[in-house]
Amino acid sequence: MKLTTLEAIKKKKELVVCSESGYIPLEMKTASGKWLGFDYEMSLAYAKELGVKLTMADTKWDGIIPSLISSKCDMIVSSMAKTVEREKAVAFSDPYYNNNFLIAVLDTPENRKKFAKIENFNTKDIKIAVKTGSAPDLYLKNSETFKNAEIMRFDADSDTVSAVLRGRSTAFIYDTPYVRVAELNNPGKLYVFPETFDKGDQFAVAMRTKDTDLVSSFNTFLANWKKSGGYEKTMKYYFESREWLSLLDK
In sequence order, which residues have a C-beta less than 8 Å from that of residue 83 and are 6 or more positions away?
Answer: 135, 138
Every domain of the chain and the residues it spans: 5-96+204-249, 99-200
pTM attached to this predicted model: 0.75
99-200 is classed in which CATH architecture? 3-Layer(aba) Sandwich (3.40)
Q: Which of 45-49, 115-119, 194-198, 219-223 shows the lowest per-residue confidence on average (mean pLDDT)?
A: 194-198
What pLDDT is recorded for position 45?
Answer: 99
Question: Residues 50-73: pLDDT tens digits?
Answer: 999 999 999 999 999 999 999 999
Closest by CA position to 169, among listed 183, 178, 159: 159
CATH number for region 5-96+204-249: 3.40.190.10
Question: How confident is the model over 83-119, as pLDDT tens digits?
Answer: 999 999 999 999 999 888 999 999 999 999 999 999 9
Q: Do domains 5-96+204-249 and 99-200 have the same CATH topology?
A: yes
pLDDT mean over 114-127: 94
Please state, in angstroms and rounded to a whole number, the distance separating the CA atoms of residues 250 and 248: 6
